[in-house]
Amino acid sequence: MNMKKYPKYKPSGVEWIGDVPEHWAVSHFKYFYRSGMGETILKEDLDEQGGLPVFSATENDQIFGFVNSAKLILEKGDFVIPARGNSIGHIMEVEQKCTSTQTTIYSKKTSQEVQTRFAFHFLKGLRTNLFQFDRTAIPQITVQQVGNDPFLLPPLPEQTAIAAYLDQKTTQTDQAISGIEKEITLLQEYRQALIFEAVTGKIDVREAA
């Protein structure tokens, strides 16, 4: 990938990040977002007629269910971060009023210095490094860990430009992946049908081999 570089760089102080543009600030997530654990919500608390979506620890933004009310209310632009299990670090940007369970960490923006989509791409793109956990124990991350994670802060116009660029490119990539997955599915179906027809005598392949 041959892209234009920034004129000057400086050490970030974070080994796995390396150097960053000289004019970018290097800070911690907790100075721009307030994080906490989600609310304790059990299956028996759910109500299909409830108007408030509930999110839990999942990798596909799937709704856990609905409740009528909750102490924790998340608004558009907040983040939900699964904190337990295999979905740790899968970031969801809230699109509508909702709440989340005790298996997640929520983050609410407290600073106008941060562009939401930039923060989303930062967390999602670097989640393997940001949300590390001891794999010998029960997989889990903590609110303190999330708050202490490094966070890079370009000037706001640059954040907006970076977010717009990544929104466009990731959408194109996702569409390409979706197309390939459909082709793979069709090939798998063809393979299965071919085997079925051959082994059940629906087709004569004696001269085809």
> In terms of pLDDT, which residue wins out, 161 or 207?
161
Query: The domain containing residue 199 runs over which residues?
Result: 155-203
The answer to whether residue 70 sits within a structural domain is: yes
pLDDT at residue number 58: 81
Q: Are residues 43 and 132 in the same domain?
A: yes
Does residue 178 fall inside a structural domain? yes
Instruction: Count other C-beta atoms under 10 Å from residue 17's C-beta.
Output: 14
% of the chain surpassing 70 pLDDT: 97
User: Residues 55-75: what's their mean pLDDT?
Assistant: 87
Q: pTM for the full model?
A: 0.84
Task: Answer for the pair 46, 66: CB distance below 8 angstroms, yes or no.
Answer: yes
Tokens of residue 17, six digits: 């990040």
Of 131, 128, 166, 130, nearest in space to 151 by CA = 130
Residue pair 106/35 in contact by the 8 Å Cβ criterion: yes
Report pLDDT for 1.
Answer: 59
Residue range 81-121, pLDDT digits in tens: 999 888 888 899 999 999 999 999 999 999 999 999 999 99
Between CA 120 and CA 182 the distance in angstroms is: 28
| Same structural domain, 187 and 147 | no
- For the chain, count helices (H), then strands (E): 4, 11
Q: How many domains does the chain have?
A: 2
**CATH number for the domain harbouring residue 21:** 3.90.220.20
Domain annotation covers residue 126: yes
Asked if residue 34 is part of any domain, the answer here is yes
pLDDT at residue 33 is higher than 70: yes
Q: Give residue-wise pLDDT tens across range 116-148.
A: 999 999 999 999 899 987 665 678 899 999 999
